[in-house]
Amino acid sequence: MKELLIVFHSMTGGTRQMAEAAARGAAAEPEVRVRLLRASAAGAQDVLQGVAHAHATLAAGFTTVRDVGAYRAFTDVALRDAINAGIVAGPRMFVAGAYITVSRGGGECG
């Protein structure tokens, strides 16, 4: 069973709708379990899960991935740095840090 964690932040509902649509599409695949989680509800367990997913991504043959942003905590940057330092096994990561978004877009905070 493969697991997909979709973490989102939505102020106006648009990003939530996109996350829900992505979850529906992924859940239609056999052997895929999907978790949809608001960024404000993400905790340490979810960060640790990212380590396991990085290892699984590398084991699946993906050597480079792109992350378009994390909500406030910069967990994508921390994971990238841990991979680069050899602390965690994972693919090369190109990360945004904060969300890439347009003004008043789904990733804008405040």
Q: What's the token pair of residue 49?
A: 């899960």
- The residue that leads in pLDDT, 30 or 1, is 30
Residue 105 lies in a domain: no
Q: Is 67 in contact with 96 (CB distance < 8 Å)? A: yes
Confidence (pTM): 0.60
With a CB cutoff of 8 Å and minimum separation 6, the contacts of 6 are 19, 22, 23, 26, 34, 35, 36, 37
Q: Cα separation of 66 and 14, whole Å? A: 22
Domain span at residue 37? 2-95
The verdict on residue 13 lying in a domain is yes
**Domain membership flag for residue 18:** yes
In a domain, 36, yes or no: yes
pLDDT at 105: 63
Q: Is residue 101 part of a domain?
A: no
Cα 67 to Cα 10, 29, 48, 77: the distances in Å are 17, 22, 17, 9
**Kind plus residue range of the DSSP H or E element containing 82:** helix 75-84
**Per the domain annotation, does 107 fall within a domain?**
no
Q: What is the pLDDT of residue 72?
A: 61
Number of domains in the chain: 1
Share of the chain above pLDDT 90, in %: 25
Q: Find all residues with CB under 8 Å of 56, minimum gap 6, and list them.
A: none
pLDDT band at 58 (very low <50, low <70, confident <90, very high): very high
Establish if 37 belongs to a structural domain: yes
Name the residue with higher pLDDT: 3 or 102: 3
Residue 110 counted as domain residue = no
Pick the residue with more confidence: 92 or 67? Answer: 92
Quote the pLDDT of residue 107. Answer: 55
| pLDDT at residue 59 in the model | 94
